[in-house]
């Protein structure tokens, strides 16, 4: 057998093995959504940081969360349970900032709401259906 037919046969075997039933439910969803990122951009006046700027991460209807919140690459809070909150005013200053919320929630069919609430700001993101948290807030403080 020449190399070309052998290579094609191997490729088809790999492709067909991915279609086999009986794999754990949700494997395809995890593989497809691991890179999924929900992002928002927010502009704030620096005077808004004089008041609490609360980031709330809440599981809806018995949804539990495990993960972390990072600001500019530094972990500022570990997420555990159904209701998590952090005051971002303590971590922000004038300039550009990246807030990333990553982790998992269960059951994977559940929903998680991420809210940013300030004196003059309210932003809400929601994710559901795959058990993965990958949210990003891009902030410019002027």
**Structure confidence at residue 100 (pLDDT):** 96
Q: How confident is the model at residue 37 (pLDDT cuts 50, 70, 90)?
A: confident
Beta bridge partners of 42: 139
Q: Would you give the DSSP letter of residue 25?
A: T
Return d(Cα 4, Cα 80) in angstroms, integer: 52
Model confidence over 125-142: pLDDT tens digits?
888 888 999 999 999 999
Over 70: is that where the pLDDT of 35 sits?
no
Output the DSSP codes for 30-45.
Answer: HHHHTT--EEEEEEE-
Structural domain boundaries of the chain? 28-141
Return d(Cα 64, Cα 79) in angstroms, integer: 9
Contact of 136 with 39, CB cutoff 8 Å: yes
pTM of the full structure? 0.72
Residue recorded with tokens 């018995």: 62
DSSP H helical ranges for the chain:
3-17, 27-33
Model confidence over 68-123: pLDDT tens digits?
999 999 999 999 999 999 999 999 999 999 999 999 999 988 999 999 999 888 98
């Amino acid at each position: 057998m020449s190399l070309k037919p052998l290579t094609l046969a191997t490729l088809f075997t790999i492709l067909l093995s991915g279609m086999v039933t009986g794999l754990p439910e949700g494997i395809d969803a995890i593989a497809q959504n691991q890179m999924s990122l929900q992002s928002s951009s927010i502009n704030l006046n620096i005077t808004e940081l004089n008041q609490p700027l609360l980031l709330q991460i809440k599981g809806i209807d018995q949804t539990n969360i495990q993960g972390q919140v990072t600001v500019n690459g530094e972990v500022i809070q570990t997420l555990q349970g159904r209701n998590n909150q952090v005051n971002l005013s303590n971590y922000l200053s004038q300039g550009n900032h990246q807030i990333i919320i990553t982790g998992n929630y269960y059951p994977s069919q559940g929903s998680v709401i991420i809210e940013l609430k300030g004196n003059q700001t309210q932003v809400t993101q929601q994710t559901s259906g795959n058990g993965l948290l990958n949210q990003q807030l891009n902030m410019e403080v002027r």
